[in-house]
Structure 1
């Protein structure tokens, strides 16, 4: 079973593998964590990202603009905090 700590680590791993300005999609994290059964992980990935936002580690964006993770609806991206 994939837990939040695993997902947080996977977010860090995927962001670290890209340029500092790049972002990732929650589905990238879910697919990396559980390639055969990633869809159930979509909300847990978003929750892990929200906690990382609260810690000041990452930002959640929509259309390239930083958004409040609690009110964001629809597709989001995750990037290192700037």
Structure 2
């Protein structure tokens, strides 16, 4: 199975394994719980996952951003760039993920 479901904003080329999706989601939510006030950079999650999986963190940036987009779509995460809400699928450059509520 893949992360994509009907109505998902992700093109087919961005589909990836559910196991990686679940691990990425768990990692993001755990980091957000620990840093509710300041939020996190997506690369922080990619680095934690890379340590767990024994891979290069940059290779995990796309999965992290896609899972963050799903969490934002669910209303659990707010994605900001320069203090303004943005769509992570369109944003370029540094951004932060912020807790919105569990």
TM-score > 0.5 by shorter chain? yes
Report whether the alignment pairs 1:25 with 2:10.
no
* Aligned residue number for residue 50 of structure 2: 34
State the structure with more CA Rg. Answer: 2
* Aligned residue number for residue 93 of structure 2: 74
TM-score, normalising length from structure 1? Answer: 0.86
Kindly tell me the number of residue pairs found equivalent between the two proteins. Answer: 81
RMSD: 1.8
The gaps in structure 1 that reach 5 residues or longer are: none
The gaps in structure 2 that reach 5 residues or longer are: 1-16
Q: 1:63 to 1:41 in 2, by over 3 A?
A: same
More strand by share: 1
RCO higher in 1 or 2 (8 Å CA, sep ≥ 6)?
1
TM-score, normalising length from structure 2? Answer: 0.71
For the 8 Å contact 2:80–2:86, the answer to whether it is kept is: yes
Q: Which whole-Å CA distance do the structure 1 matches of 2:31 and 2:71 have between them?
A: 14
